[in-house]
A and B are shown apart, each in its own frame.
Chain A
């Protein structure tokens, strides 16, 4: 088996999600109507973001144990991909909110928590770009990345559950279990989570390889 089998799996799952996500029957609910199908596209963005940001922290910790430019690149590109997924998640959530809750943005703990977490990661990019020394940049952004993850995850998944919230999965609301009980939706939702997560890893891998290649070419030119 080639080592790229997971990329083929990603393509298959995403094409399946595009077709099945639109055609499979879904529970007939007032207000939500067909927009319930956003579950296959909006929610996996956050799953993918969480996994890829976790990978980023993993590389950051490894960087602090054995500082190599490779680990710094892997951690940075994974974080960038995670930030992209998060921004797409915020944008899609905003559209969904407009047509179900009636506003582009509500001061909901889940929404504001996610927004603050994205700002924390935005600060990661700003912090990184403010160093000229490569080792200093790599070390300090690795440390910040660990703190950013530890701060962002409670903002996404713990704090919103402690208060009332419109958003499913917050305010004692048992995530999307209410809709997810429908076994037809599970048939699409789980492949969607896996497919979009694999896409995040694929993008991060391609971006990292490009950065690594750039580094190698520079080193060759200097030598």
Chain B
């Protein structure tokens, strides 16, 4: 477990480095009198719900793919021996 955490560290650092500027820019508000955008969705905070849902769906699917990958690796080893 400790070993896998250490392996994940560069990935987590990369994710943080990518996300920090996003939060920074997203915090700035836009001027009025421009084409309609989903500003009210953001004011209500609801867009974050959508972001969370999409992230969970994507993470779930990617986790499934990664576990299929691991199972396949084990099976490949078994067939080779």
Interface residues of A (CB under 8 A from B): 2, 4, 7-16, 18-20, 22-26, 28-30, 33-34, 184, 187, 191, 202-203, 206, 209-210, 213, 216-217, 220
Contacts and interface: CB of A to CB of B under 8 A. Distances in A.
B7 A2 contact: yes
Contacts of B30: 25, 28
A57 to B, nearest CB: 25
Contacts, number: 90
Nearest to B80: A216
Range for the number of chain B residues in contact with chain A:
35 or more
Given A9-B11, A15-B59, A206-B65, A25 B36 contact: no
Contacts of A187: 21-22
B25 A24 contact: yes
B15 A16 contact: yes
A208 B22 CA distance: 37
Contact of B18 (A20, A33, A184, A216): A20
Interface string B24-59: 011010100011111000000001001100110011
Contacts of B54: 18, 22
B1 interface: no
23 contacts: A7-B69, A8-B11, A9-B14, A11-B66, A12-B14, A13-B18, A14-B62, A15-B55, A15-B59, A15-B62, A18-B55, A19-B19, A20-B18, A20-B19, A24-B22, A24-B26, A28-B37, A33-B36, A33-B38, A206-B68, A206-B72, A209-B72, A210-B72
